[in-house]
Structure 1
């Protein structure tokens, strides 16, 4: 169930998204579905990023950085080659997990350089590129809470980032298991994680890779732990693209497939998950998953 605080937060988030959608629709006329044609005409590409999705998409020295950002930069190089535009302008547009679908639907961005974890409901709102990461859903808690399973949190509050697939997942788990969880929403990973560090709330549900990143950046890392219990199977994450543009989807997937089969992709993966990375020279030590290894070596088309 939601408490008044949860309802207030949810209402505020919903109102903000409606306002954003209205402003975008007024400021940006309807575009054709041909993204490559739009890019060629404007000689520019608009890419979405987040500042709280370490190590995929975050700010380092006030510039977008991360695993997703590096992949998007490779896509930009491919667009330059295909359209023969040497001086293609790149516009970086700040987004959030909740607003990314509004931005892509209204053609404010051409690609969201954010790890969009897949669900059928999300696929109705935007197209997905080939996946480039797989991760299970888990929760982080303080070690002194002695919380091993989601059932241990029954009757307590649990925090989830708004606009993510974890909201639907935890609602389903709550309903099926009759856990009486009080599900609270926040719209920023860093703010939500601070509530767990301080002990204000007992647990945060998110992707395992995000949780590892947040703990690695924390000054209280030794006091925190990720649940052994997984709340989902490995979920694929892709880049969001506009719906109903098969030419752009095919081009982008072909570009990513070529990247996957090159040494560049291995170097990009190792840079962000098996080497010290800024801002604190942290090595997350996350080996490439079995699912991702299978994908990049497969000759069969990937189907979500």
Structure 2
């Protein structure tokens, strides 16, 4: 069994991120480690999602989004570290649920999908350093009478399968006796259509994904996102194989450099504070306090390491 490592701690006011290399891993049946395989085949296999705007979606028949840009930067860094002149990138379409299977079976080397952290999910895959934090909320039509979590009691609510929100709803049902009936869907787009048609009263997801769904809809003014939250902001990272600490160290090093670089503010501005082509959608989501704190902490660690090396 893999030794347990602490990925994060939530307090009432501040989320503190603690990360360390795990001390031991279960040995899987896959003989070659990720970096060795990438170097040998000169190919890296990445997973993407087509319905997670603005993180991972398809534009002009290619994967696009915030996490896609981050993955491409990590790939460039791996290419440099392995001294591979031409590194082929192979993209595999995935979903929130199938990404864990693909990573576990080594069908992909890294998932370029926002994976929100939980201890249960961490038993199935490794997480990189976070690049976003988002609370869980729900979306309804404005003419609906279910505007609070309490008013959802006894109703059927929609959740995308394989997400952290399923865990959260089961816990909420248990602790608050809400008697919620949880309906699952495999697609964010199909789930949102069920809210559009009035088939179901509410869709639970992360605030940023809900805001993206509304922005993409033909009638965004018809919908609203709850003020109440199911969770405090949760960190989102990329998924990596559990049994490859060397690959995780390399990817986390790249992620650390991305987060602390001068260009990261521009990258965030591009996807969350500026019009996104081709529909010029501006989500207008300022950088969270938790992400700013993580960047500051990561920068301090980097500076301390530089002093040690000197």
The residue number in structure 2 matching 1:149 is 148
The residue number in structure 1 matching 2:50 is 51
The residue number in structure 1 matching 2:10 is none
CA RMSD of aligned residues (A): 1.3
The residue number in structure 1 matching 2:258 is 259
The residue number in structure 2 matching 1:278 is 277
Per-residue Cα deviation, 1:101-120 (whole angstroms, up to 9, x for no partner)? 00001111000000000000
The residue number in structure 1 matching 2:196 is 197
How much does 1:220 deviate? 1.8
3-state DSSP class of the match of 1:70?
A: helix
Counting only pairs closer than 5 Å after superposition, residues 209-228 of structure 1 correspond to structure 2 as 209-228=208-227
> Does residue 40 in structure 1 map to residue 9 in structure 2?
no
3-state DSSP class of the match of 2:138?
A: strand
Structure 1: unaligned runs, 5 residues or longer? 1-28
How much does 1:32 deviate? 2.7
> Does residue 132 in structure 1 map to residue 131 in structure 2?
yes
Counting only pairs closer than 5 Å after superposition, residues 179-194 of structure 1 correspond to structure 2 as 179-194=178-193
Instruction: Flag the structure with higher helix content.
Output: 1
1:173 and 1:291 mapped to 2: Cα distance? 24
2:128 and 2:288 mapped to 1: Cα distance? 18
Q: Kindly indicate whether the alpha-carbon contact (under 8 Å) linking 1:33 and 1:244 is maintained by their aligned counterparts in 2.
A: no
> Does residue 166 in structure 1 map to residue 170 in structure 2?
no
2:104 and 2:168 mapped to 1: Cα distance? 24
2:32 and 2:191 mapped to 1: Cα distance? 37
The residue number in structure 2 matching 1:236 is 235
3-state DSSP class of the match of 1:144?
A: coil
1:247 and 1:154 mapped to 2: Cα distance? 46
Q: Kindly indicate whether the alpha-carbon contact (under 8 Å) linking 2:135 and 2:229 is maintained by their aligned counterparts in 1.
A: yes
3-state DSSP class of the match of 1:248?
A: helix
CA pair 55-238 structure 1, distance change in 2 beyond 3 A: same
Aligned length: 273
2:78 and 2:204 mapped to 1: Cα distance? 37
Moved over 3 A (4+): none
Q: Kindly indicate whether the alpha-carbon contact (under 8 Å) linking 1:154 and 1:181 is maintained by their aligned counterparts in 2.
A: yes
1:32 and 1:289 mapped to 2: Cα distance? 41
3-state DSSP class of the match of 2:51?
A: coil
How much does 1:178 deviate? 1.3
The residue number in structure 1 matching 2:11 is none
2:229 and 2:301 mapped to 1: Cα distance? 28
* TM-score normalized by the length of structure 2: 0.86
* TM-score normalized by the length of structure 1: 0.88
How much does 1:81 deviate? 0.3
3-state DSSP class of the match of 1:276?
A: coil
Q: Kindly indicate whether the alpha-carbon contact (under 8 Å) linking 2:140 and 2:147 is maintained by their aligned counterparts in 1.
A: no
> Does residue 95 in structure 1 map to residue 101 in structure 2?
no
2:278 and 2:161 mapped to 1: Cα distance? 26
The residue number in structure 2 matching 1:19 is none
Per-residue Cα deviation, 1:220-248 (whole angstroms, up to 9, x for no partner)? 21110000001001100000000121111
The residue number in structure 2 matching 1:4 is none
2:276 and 2:100 mapped to 1: Cα distance? 29
Q: Kindly indicate whether the alpha-carbon contact (under 8 Å) linking 1:129 and 1:252 is maintained by their aligned counterparts in 2.
A: yes
2:173 and 2:30 mapped to 1: Cα distance? 41
How much does 1:139 deviate? 0.2
